[in-house]
């Protein structure tokens, strides 16, 4: 659960363990043009363009737009000077996710503990404050270009205030009279919070990063899949799912596996400056059908699912569900097919999921829209169907 209430503040763990994660504070993107990206994510996915820090607020280094929906906060940042580190990264990786930031009780203590556990600092603790309160951030380096920031908040900048539309940090101003915000309130996309966040690492590196999440952040392995689970004739990958202690966030880590042709993970790395990074961000909805219908009506492109998929899916999924005493998928089967949604089941229940096409010109980052009905898995049964579809797309781009 990605809510503040999911952490028991009185539990001994939260007072003694500085690495207790309270929430996904925000996800920071480096983009080539934050003003235009804000418009894209607002229109395509229904985010509110809520706050901005740029030249108009005295920020002469970068422009940053805070986009919100449910408990999701995206921070889109573009450099304004050649000295800004984002410039070189954009050149090498294109638009993508730089930082998956966690709210903690004390950012400095979390950063110190992560370093004692073997983590490498991305940047030292820094605090910004004004009469309303303070925000402290400190970062550690994870795979490739990606950073995990720890964020602690006081006074008017605390997380409950932020969730209710309070200021993100000193130096941000509220965006007024942005017409698209009104439209989005009237036409909700229903995205609630970050369900999981998947990273792609190089061949042979998955276990190294699994150990890093265990040692440095105190995560534990939740599930793992090998190439027999996740493969087609041509393409394969291996994946291990790491979860934070309180299951606030799950971070699957993929590495390419041998196949006849290039793995989708390898294609990502090739177009990401041969550097690991975030492959997709899964956003949770309570109603997959209406979310996907709304997103499609806004022009979001999803991975096309082969028609043959629907010839076997209900048999496979409903058989699995009834064998574990669950009732069958309640969503309208015909509508699921029309919207091109994927379905999978396990012993705990089922899930509905769908993957967008890449969100930028490079075949790197994409979103997943996921709805869970009991299942805590990631759609293993869909991997084959999905991969066949992915490979058709890869072939069309000349990258298979
Ligand atoms: Fe996923």
Residues 202 and 349 in one domain: yes
User: Counting beta carbons within 10 angstroms of the beta carbon of residue 330, is it exposed (0 to 12), middle (13 to 18) or buried (19 or more)?
Assistant: exposed
Instruction: Report which secondary-structure segment, H or E, holds 13.
Output: helix 12-16
Angle CA(322)–CA(324)–CA(329) in degrees, nearest 5? 45
Give the mean model confidence (pLDDT) for residues 14-37: 93
| Dist. CA 281 → ligand 1 center (Å) | 7
Least confident of 73-87, 92-106, 259-273, 335-349: 259-273
Residues 147 and 197 in one domain: no
| Dist. CA 251 → ligand 1 center (Å) | 9
Residues 161 and 209 in one domain: no
Least confident of 12-21, 125-134, 286-295: 12-21
Is residue 14 scored above 60 in pLDDT?
no
| Dist. CA 280 → ligand 1 center (Å) | 7
What's the mean per-residue pLDDT of the chain?
A: 91
Tell me the C-alpha distance between 387 and 385, whole Å: 6
| Dist. CA 43 → ligand 1 center (Å) | 23
Residues 221 and 179 in one domain: no
Residues 294 and 320 in one domain: yes
**pLDDT 10s digits, 99-148:** 999 999 999 999 999 999 999 999 999 999 999 999 999 999 999 999 99
Residues 137 and 208 in one domain: no
Here the CATH number for the domain that contains residue 49 is 3.10.180.10
Amino acid 12: pLDDT: 41
Query: In the listed set 186, 205, 225, which residue is the last one of a domain according to the structure?
Result: 186
Q: In the 8-state DSSP scheme, what is residue 305? A: P
Is residue 10 scored above 70 in pLDDT?
no
pLDDT tier at 281, thresholds 50, 70, 90 = very high
User: Counting beta carbons within 10 angstroms of the beta carbon of residue 186, is it exposed (0 to 12), middle (13 to 18) or buried (19 or more)?
Assistant: exposed
Q: By residue range, what is the domain housing residue 302?
A: 191-397
Collapsing DSSP to helix, strand or coil, 156 comes out as: coil
Amino acid 233: pLDDT: 59
| Dist. CA 108 → ligand 1 center (Å) | 31
Give the mean model confidence (pLDDT) for residues 266-292: 96
Query: In the listed set 186, 203, 228, which residue is the last one of a domain according to the structure?
Result: 186
Amino acid 1: pLDDT: 33
Amino acid 232: pLDDT: 62
Residues 154 and 219 in one domain: no
**pLDDT 10s digits, 363-394:** 999 999 999 999 998 888 887 666 666 677 77
| Dist. CA 294 → ligand 1 center (Å) | 20
pLDDT tier at 234, thresholds 50, 70, 90 = low
Residues 202 and 110 in one domain: no
| Dist. CA 282 → ligand 1 center (Å) | 6
Collapsing DSSP to helix, strand or coil, 377 comes out as: coil
pLDDT tier at 6, thresholds 50, 70, 90 = very low
| Dist. CA 357 → ligand 1 center (Å) | 13
| Dist. CA 368 → ligand 1 center (Å) | 6
Residues 240 and 346 in one domain: yes
Number of domains in the chain: 2
Rg over alpha carbons for the chain, rounded to the nearest Å, is 21
| Dist. CA 345 → ligand 1 center (Å) | 15
| Dist. CA 273 → ligand 1 center (Å) | 22
Residues 280 and 385 in one domain: yes
Here the tokens at position 64 are: 């940053």
pTM > 0.85: yes or no: yes
- Report the candidate in 331, 39, 293 with the shortest Cα–Cα distance to residue 189: 293
Here the tokens at position 12 are: 């001994």
Amino acid 188: pLDDT: 98
Residues 169 and 197 in one domain: no
Amino acid 231: pLDDT: 63
Give the mean model confidence (pLDDT) for residues 291-295: 98
**pLDDT 10s digits, 40-85:** 999 999 999 999 999 999 999 999 999 999 999 999 999 999 999 9
Contact 369, 396 (CB under 8 A): no
Residues 198 and 300 in one domain: yes
Least confident of 226-230, 298-302, 319-323, 347-351: 226-230
**pLDDT 10s digits, 148-167:** 999 999 999 999 999 999 99
| Dist. CA 115 → ligand 1 center (Å) | 29
Is residue 98 scored above 70 in pLDDT?
yes
**pLDDT 10s digits, 187-199:** 999 999 999 999 9
Query: In the listed set 134, 169, 186, which residue is the last one of a domain according to the structure?
Result: 186
């Amino acid at each position: 659960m990605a809510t503040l209430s999911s952490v028991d503040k009185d539990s001994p763990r939260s007072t003694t363990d500085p690495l207790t994660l309270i929430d996904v504070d925000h996800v920071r993107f480096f983009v080539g043009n934050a003003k235009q990206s804000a418009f894209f994510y607002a229109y395509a996915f229904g985010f509110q363009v809520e706050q901005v820090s740029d030249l108009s607020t005295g920020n002469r280094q970068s422009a940053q737009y805070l986009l919100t929906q449910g408990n999701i906060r995206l921070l889109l940042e573009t450099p304004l000077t050649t000295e800004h580190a984002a410039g070189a990264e954009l050149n090498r990786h294109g638009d993508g996710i730089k930082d998956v930031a966690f709210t903690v009780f004390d950012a400095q203590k979390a950063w110190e503990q992560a370093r004692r556990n073997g983590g490498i600092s991305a940047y030292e603790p820094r605090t910004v404050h004004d009469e309303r309160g303070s925000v402290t951030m400190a970062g550690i380096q994870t795979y490739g270009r990606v950073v995990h920031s720890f964020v602690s908040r006081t006074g008017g900048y605390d997380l409950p205030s932020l969730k209710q539309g309070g200021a993100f940090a000193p130096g941000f101003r509220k965006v007024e009279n942005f017409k698209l915000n009104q439209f989005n309130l009237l036409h909700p996309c229903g995205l609630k919070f970050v369900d999981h966040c998947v990273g792609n690492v190089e061949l042979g590196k998955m276990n190294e990063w699994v150990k890093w999440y265990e040692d440095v952040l105190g995560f534990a392995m939740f599930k793992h899949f090998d190439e027999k689970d996740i493969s087609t004739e041509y393409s394969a990958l291996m994946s291990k799912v790491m979860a934070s202690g309180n299951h606030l966030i799950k971070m699957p880590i993929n590495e390419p596996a041998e196949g006849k042709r290039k793995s989708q993970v390898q294609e990502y790395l090739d177009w990401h400056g041969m550097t690991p990074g975030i492959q997709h961000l899964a956003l949770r909805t309570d109603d997959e059908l209406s979310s996907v219908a709304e997103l499609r009506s806004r022009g979001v492109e999803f991975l096309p699912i082969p028609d043959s998929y629907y010839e076997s899916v209900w048999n496979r999924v409903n058989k699995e569900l009834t064998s574990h005493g669950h009732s069958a998928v309640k969503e309208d089967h015909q509508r699921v097919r029309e919207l091109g949604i994927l379905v999978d089941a396990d012993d705990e229940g089922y899930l509905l999921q769908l993957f967008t096409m890449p969100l930028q010109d490079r075949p790197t980052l994409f979103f997943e829209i996921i709805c869970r009905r009991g299942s805590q898995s990631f759609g293993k049964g869909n991997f084959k169907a999905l991969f066949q579809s992915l490979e058709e797309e890869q072939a069309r781009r000349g990258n298979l």
